[in-house]
Amino acid sequence: MAFTSAVITFPGSNCDRDMAVALEKVSGTAPHRVWHGDSELPDGLDFIAVPGGFSYGDYLRCGAIASRSPIMKAVVAAAERGVPVLGVCNGFQVLTESGLLPGALLRNAGLNFVCREVALEVANAQSLFTSAYEAGQVIRIPVAHHDGNYFADEATLDRLEGEGRVAFRYAEEVNGSARAIAGLLNDAGNVLGMMPHPERAIETTHGGTDGRGLFESAIRGLVGA
Amino acid sequence: MKVRVHVSLKPGVLDPQGRAIHHSLEGLGFAGVNDVRAGRLFELDVADSVSDEAIDDMCRKLLANMVIENYRIEKVAA
């Protein structure tokens, strides 16, 4: 069965092509490309990716303007129906700004733009996006962001941890994120936001293939393998 | 009608930019600065018919992120 996916592009997205290539390489089917000004998604989607970049020049707050764009209404509605949604980097910021995920992403604690490969611990290997990994496995995935410092109040953080909604944690200091959160699931488990870029680690020429498991998990979970 | 919306980080939200500005002030030799918090100011020019509720809604839906920020609305005499 074909895997039907879509990659959303906003003005200023710059990882949309990488995301589309990753989805095609791993699933065998090229994703639909959807523009921010569209108000409807293609029918029958198995998976929606909100890619990284600097949507709307990061004006106001990172992801703030993109999260109010026409297509995001459709993405939020699809997520609420249970369609899996992956937001990477700026896509994670868009998902928190749209209310699909709790909390916010603040300026990195060290104030620097961080662009390097980091070690991540798989904190939840039971989710739709992480089942190809082992719990506690340490993987290496690149990050490239200025505003990845995850913030939520203490009660929310306790609840997120208690519910197993932390998918990935930084296994080293990166940006000051609360509880070292690098990737977060919604309560239904069909939305994942993460600052690291799994789409940049799917081929050996990338220097590593640890990101492949995320796409393999989702594809296997959705259409079988 | 001119409206100013002041957006500031909630207490308890770390403000690395404010900290860097604080550090820089100290570097310039200004003593006695206990803390610096960076915020944002929006100046809106809106029709007189726009209600207070609508302005409040603008703040909640876009100008401020209620997870991390507070806002204050100030109407400015023309």
pLDDT of residue B48: 94
Q: Binning pLDDT at 50, 70 and 90, where does residue A175 land?
A: very high
Q: Which residues of A touch B67 (CB under 8 A)?
A: 96, 102-104, 151-152
For chains A and B, CB pairs below 8 A equal 37
pLDDT of residue B78: 65
Overall average pLDDT of the B10-30 stretch: 93
DSSP codes, A141-185: EEEEES--EEE--HHHHHHHHHTT-EEEEESS-SS--GGGEEEEE
The C-alpha angle A28, A31, A33, rounded to 5 degrees, equals 160
CA terminus-to-terminus distance, chain A: 9
pLDDT of residue A225: 53
- Which phi-psi region, left, alpha or beta, contains residue A215 (left: φ > 0; alpha: ψ -120 to 50)? alpha
How much is the mean pLDDT over chain B? 95
Q: Binning pLDDT at 50, 70 and 90, where does residue B65 land?
A: very high
Domain, as residue range, for A87: 5-223
* Closest residue by Cα to residue A93 from A131, A67, A128: A67
| Contact in structure between B8 and B64 (CB atoms under 8 Å) | no
Distances (CA, A) of A159 to A125, A155, B3: 18, 6, 38
Task: Report the side by side order of strands in the sheet with B39-45.
Answer: B39-45, B2-9, B69-76
| pLDDT > 70? residue A203 | yes
Q: Binning pLDDT at 50, 70 and 90, where does residue A221 land?
A: confident
| Contact in structure between A47 and A23 (CB atoms under 8 Å) | yes
Distances (CA, A) of B30 to A169, B17, B20, B26, B35: 40, 18, 14, 5, 12
Does A103 sit within 8 Å of B62, measured CB to CB? no
* Per-residue pLDDT tens digits for A142-151: 999 999 999 9
| Contact in structure between A151 and B67 (CB atoms under 8 Å) | yes
Closest CA–CA distance from residue A103 to any residue of chain B (Å): 6
Does A96 sit within 8 Å of B67, measured CB to CB? yes
| Contact in structure between A190 and A82 (CB atoms under 8 Å) | yes
Q: Which residues of A touch B65 (CB under 8 A)?
A: 61, 64, 97, 104
Give me the percent of chain B exceeding a pLDDT of 70. Answer: 99
Does A109 sit within 8 Å of B14, measured CB to CB? yes
* Per-residue pLDDT tens digits for A74-91: 999 999 999 999 999 999
* Per-residue pLDDT tens digits for A116-128: 999 999 999 999 9
Overall average pLDDT of the B25-54 stretch: 96
Overall average pLDDT of the B24-32 stretch: 96
pLDDT of residue A177: 97
Distances (CA, A) of A186 to A44, A99, B1, B65, B73: 21, 10, 41, 19, 33
| pLDDT > 80? residue A1 | no
Does A97 sit within 8 Å of B68, measured CB to CB? no
* Closest residue by Cα to residue B13 from B74, B65, B72: B65
Query: Hey, what are A224's tokens?
Result: 């079988």
CATH of B2-76, one of 2.30.130.60, 3.30.1280.10, 1.10.10.10, 1.10.3720.10: 3.30.1280.10
DSSP codes, B4-28: EEEEEEPTTS--HHHHHHHHHHHHT
Instruction: Please list the helix, strand and coil fractions of chain B in percent, rounded to the nearest 5, in that order.
Output: 30, 30, 40
Task: Mutation target for B interface from A67, A107, A156: give the one with most B CBs within 10 A.
Answer: A107
Residue A65 sits in a domain of what CATH number? 3.40.50.880
d(CA B75, CA B44): 10
Longest dimension (CA), chain B: 49
Name the closest residue on chain B to residue A64, using Cα atoms: B62
pLDDT of residue B77: 77
pLDDT of residue B58: 97
Domain count for chain A, please give it.
1
Q: What residue spans define the domains of chain B?
A: 2-76
Q: Which residues of A touch B (CB under 8 A)?
A: 60-61, 64, 68, 96-97, 102-104, 106-111, 149, 151-153, 176
d(CA B1, CA A44): 48
Pairing of strands A85-88, A47-50: parallel
Instruction: Enumerate the active-site residues of A.
Output: 89, 197, 199
pLDDT of residue A208: 94
| pLDDT > 90? residue B14 | no
| pLDDT > 60? residue A173 | yes
| pLDDT > 90? residue A100 | yes
How much is the mean pLDDT over chain A? 96
Overall average pLDDT of the B28-57 stretch: 96
* Per-residue pLDDT tens digits for A11-68: 999 999 999 999 999 999 999 999 999 999 999 999 999 999 999 999 999 999 999 9
Query: Hey, what are A105's tokens?
Result: 């992403």
pLDDT of residue B63: 97
pLDDT of residue A2: 86
| pLDDT > 80? residue B10 | yes
d(CA A53, CA A45): 23
Instruction: Give me the residue from B14, B20, B62 closest to A106, CB to CB.
Output: B14
Q: Which residues of B touch A67 (CB under 8 A)?
A: none
pLDDT of residue A9: 98
Closest CA–CA distance from residue B19 to any residue of chain A (Å): 10
Q: Which residues of B touch A111 (CB under 8 A)?
A: 16-17, 20
